Amino acid sequence: AWIAPDFTNRVAHVAWNIVNKAVKCWFYGSMVTELAGFILNREATTAELWSSIESLFVNNRRSRRFQLTAELFAVKQGDAPVSSFCARLKAVADGLRNAGKVLDDDELVVQLLRGVNKDRHEMTAKIIEKSQTPIPFDVAVGMLLQDEIGADFSPSGVSHTALAVQQRPSAP
């Protein structure tokens, strides 16, 4: 039977005490020592203990969301290849989703275009031109990757050299 958290006759109810102690033991036994020490309260009921744990993690989720949002705005390509930059951006977005803030494709694409190096500005202009409808993040990433691969094989990166061989007249 379910016993409400505000159940008043806890001490006299043997079954409630057994279940309460069992669940508290499970809570304390399944968490890291530092956390268990932080919320340890022998007098607390399981419901009160759960409330303490929940508020601790809700506060951590909020601060994690703030931290990841700041990181999202700070992610820049720098010397990294486009693939590494995009993977980092996606990892931050995934972390935000896990912390309760889901970014849509438009928000991700804006951050992608903000952080990509200036040598990709021609491609970013194409992405923006194409954006009469929202461009999925993976499509924008694919366009930047193709641009980077194409730049690696472009003729402007190839140096042309010629070898001239002249035969000397033989000595008399």
Q: What is the pLDDT of residues 33-62, one digit of tens each?
A: 777 777 777 777 788 888 888 877 777 888
CA atoms within 13 A on the CB side of 140: 33
What CA–CA distance (Å, rounded) separates 74 from 116? Answer: 11
Which tokens go with 150? Answer: 């194409």
Q: 163 pLDDT band (50/70/90 cuts)? A: very low
Please write down the long-range contacts of 49-56, taking CB distance under 8 Å and 24 or more positions apart. Answer: 49/24, 53/27
Position 5 pLDDT exceeds 70: no
- Its pTM stands at 0.57
Q: 102 pLDDT band (50/70/90 cuts)? A: very high
What CA–CA distance (Å, rounded) separates 120 from 158? Answer: 19
